[in-house]
Structure 1
């Protein structure tokens, strides 16, 4: 929803619904693919991850929707969904920010890298709330628009899990 802030209640509901679909996917994975699944998890936030999120906010003004997600979710690791999807823990985002800085996009506020896929493509969230995906496995290449916001990105991820059932 463009222009609307992401609500923690929505993120919690997304976690519950997505966890249910993910459980079903993992249970049927080996029968469908002939090998066991990897570690597919949506890890909930902890006191330690809250401290890491607070440190990230002090380091860089991350978009509020990402702070909301990190207040509910520590990380997402889905190696068996499509080519994989990984929402990095806020401590990793801070480490990468210190090393690489923000992503600069034409006509967009600086963006912070917060996720990647199994092919090494990066996902960055701009101050506008829009999500961008690198066209190559590089911090310094081109980024294309991937979603209008985090909610759209997470909804699409849930749909990809359901589509694999």
Structure 2
């Protein structure tokens, strides 16, 4: 993942939101939540990420984008602010998969999204499950790989925003 990809992603998603939000309430029958793609993380918050052992891709992401809030896309999607990432509750996953992870995103239904600390590693979907001493355990079939890597996850999130802006319906991640 490079800075050009992230800038393009941010611009494309922002353009989709700019098309979606005018007339949102008339079209969907309720007012929109606060949608935003934040700017880069401040130095202090960015530096605090080192304790989470994030992948190089996740660090590159936070150099460009502090957080993403998409409360009306599907059940809502949120790429967490680095301050929330640092206060992590889950440090590893066990069950269908075993990995040390960093939780960086969630949806409005309680599902977490985590990426392994190794660049190019898969992104895992973590539905509600047991968390003991930082270890997430689940045999739930929804505990799965949602994307081959962080770029794949961001591409799927981008697609969900585009489809919702065009149709009012969003797919699941």
- TM score, norm. by length of structure 1: 0.86
**Corresponding position of 1:84:** 76
CA contact (8 A) 2:125 2:145 kept: yes
**Corresponding position of 1:29:** 24
**Corresponding position of 2:93:** 104
Shift of 1:113: 0.6
CA contact (8 A) 1:102 1:112 kept: yes
Q: Name the count of aligned residue pairs.
A: 154
Work out whether 1:43 is the aligned partner of 2:43: no
Work out whether 1:63 is the aligned partner of 2:55: yes
Q: Which residues in structure 2 correspond to 1:1-165 (within 5 Å)?
A: 6-46=1-41, 48=42, 50-57=43-50, 59-96=51-88, 100-105=89-94, 108-128=98-118, 129-136=121-128, 139=131, 140-142=136-138, 143-164=143-164, 165=166
Greater percentage in helix = 1
Q: Compared with structure 1, are the counterparts of its residues 138 and 146 closer, same or farther at alpha carbon in structure 2 (3 Å cutoff)?
A: farther
What is the alpha-carbon root mean square deviation over aligned residues? 1.7
- TM score, norm. by length of structure 2: 0.82
Unpaired segments ≥5 residues, structure 2: 167-173
Unpaired segments ≥5 residues, structure 1: 1-5
